[in-house]
């Protein structure tokens, strides 16, 4: 979400979420800090909004190539996620439900949800025109969206925001009573992050600003007004190689795979 902050990067001496001073450098190149109080990992200094605008505007001139910024979820994977989401919600279809995808990227999740019956709306700050070219109702900003939703999905978006805790509050307001939010983001306590440290691929990406630990994300969701929060541990096959499938299933079961997934209910 576009938010004006100072044009010069500024070093933070405290956690941008919980304001604790118990923060220390954890990864280098670029520098990331860790808050012992709430478990947030954050870029320090964070890139300015101007730097991010430049990054995204340039990526969206070639959306199929720059998927770190324009959305890396393939349609095949989006279909798997949409089906898992149905199951997690105890539903047989999304028929009659109005669902918002915040950070809809190139629209693959919108398509997968639509195939299962949902009426879909996408918000993509830099890719609104692209979404419209795919035939979707698209907006640049959450503030432009009209009406309320039965469900909201936001996949690999939280890590791109300066203050996702504020955005989660806005998303909560956009939900109908008893509506649900599905949020997925990179897992800084995953095996990949722990083994690779500063070289963790996700920490190197220019657009990534924060990674909440599971306890941070739970706290953010509860403070944003969600009444019930549930971590989802989905077993998802990303590879064809049987050894990698088994390794990945093991990590997913233990919750140390690359993705944190949560459902929050209003």
> Which CB, 31 or 148, lies closer to Zn ion?
31
Shortest Å, Cβ 167 to Zn ion: 17
Shortest Å, Cβ 132 to Zn ion: 38
Shortest Å, Cβ 154 to Zn ion: 21
Q: Name the phi and psi angles at 18, rounded to 5.
A: -100, -5
What SS3 state is found at 203?
A: helix
Candidate ranges 37-45, 168-176, 204-212, 246-254; the one touching Zn ion (CB under 5 A): 37-45
Rounded Cα–Cα distance for residues 128 and 42 (Å): 28
Candidate ranges 36-44, 109-117, 182-190, 247-255; the one touching Zn ion (CB under 5 A): 36-44
Among 12, 26, 37, 166, binds Zn ion (CB under 5 A): 37
Residue 161 binds Zn ion, judged by CB under 5 A: no
Rounded Cα–Cα distance for residues 251 and 233 (Å): 10
**DSSP H helix total and E strand total for the chain:** 10, 11
Give me the torsion for CA of 27, 21, 158, 39, rounded to 10°: 70
Q: What is the DSSP string of 167-199?
A: HHHHHHHTEEEEEEEEEEEE-TTSHHHHHHGGG
Residue 15 binds Zn ion, judged by CB under 5 A: yes
The answer to whether 140 touches 94, Cβ cutoff 8 Å, is no
Shortest Å, Cβ 163 to Zn ion: 12
DSSP-assigned letter for residue 105: T
Among 35, 97, 116, 153, binds Zn ion (CB under 5 A): 35
Residue 18 binds Zn ion, judged by CB under 5 A: yes
The answer to whether 30 touches 47, Cβ cutoff 8 Å, is no
What SS3 state is found at 146?
A: coil
Shortest Å, Cβ 210 to Zn ion: 10
Which residues, numbered 38-97, are part of the site for Zn ion (CB under 5 A)?
A: 38, 40
Candidate ranges 16-24, 84-92, 110-118, 250-258; the one touching Zn ion (CB under 5 A): 16-24
Under the rule (CB under 5 A), what is the footprint of Zn ion? Answer: 15, 17-18, 20, 35, 37-38, 40
């Amino acid at each position: 979400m576009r938010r004006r902050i100072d044009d010069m990067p500024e070093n933070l001496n405290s956690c941008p979420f919980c304001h604790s001073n118990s923060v220390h450098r954890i990864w280098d190149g670029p520098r990331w800090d860790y808050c012992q109080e709430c478990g947030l990992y954050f870029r320090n200094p964070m890139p300015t909004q101007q730097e991010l605008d430049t990054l995204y505007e340039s990526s969206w001139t070639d959306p199929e190539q720059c998927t770190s910024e324009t959305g890396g979820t393939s349609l095949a994977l989006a279909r798997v996620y949409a089906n898992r989401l149905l199951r997690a919600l105890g539903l047989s279809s999304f028929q009659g439900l109005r669902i918002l995808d915040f950070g809809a990227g190139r629209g693959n999740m919108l398509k997968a949800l639509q195939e299962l019956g949902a009426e879909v709306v996408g918000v993509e700050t830099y890719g609104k025109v692209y979404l419209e070219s795919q035939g979707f109702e698209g907006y640049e900003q959450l503030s432009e969206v009209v009406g309320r939703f039965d469900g909201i999905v936001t996949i690999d978006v939280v890590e791109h925001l300066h203050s996702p805790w504020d955005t989660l509050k806005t998303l909560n307001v956009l939900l109908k009573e008893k509506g649900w939010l599905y949020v997925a983001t990179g897992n800084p306590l995953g095996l990949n992050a722990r083994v690779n440290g500063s070289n963790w691929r996700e920490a190197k990406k220019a657009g990534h600003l924060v990674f909440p630990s599971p306890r941070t994300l739970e706290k953010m969701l509860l403070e944003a007004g969600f009444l019930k929060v549930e971590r989802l541990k989905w077993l998802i096959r990303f590879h064809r190689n049987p050894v990698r499938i088994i390794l990945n299933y093991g990590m997913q079961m233990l919750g140390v795979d690359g993705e944190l997934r949560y459902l929050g209910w209003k």
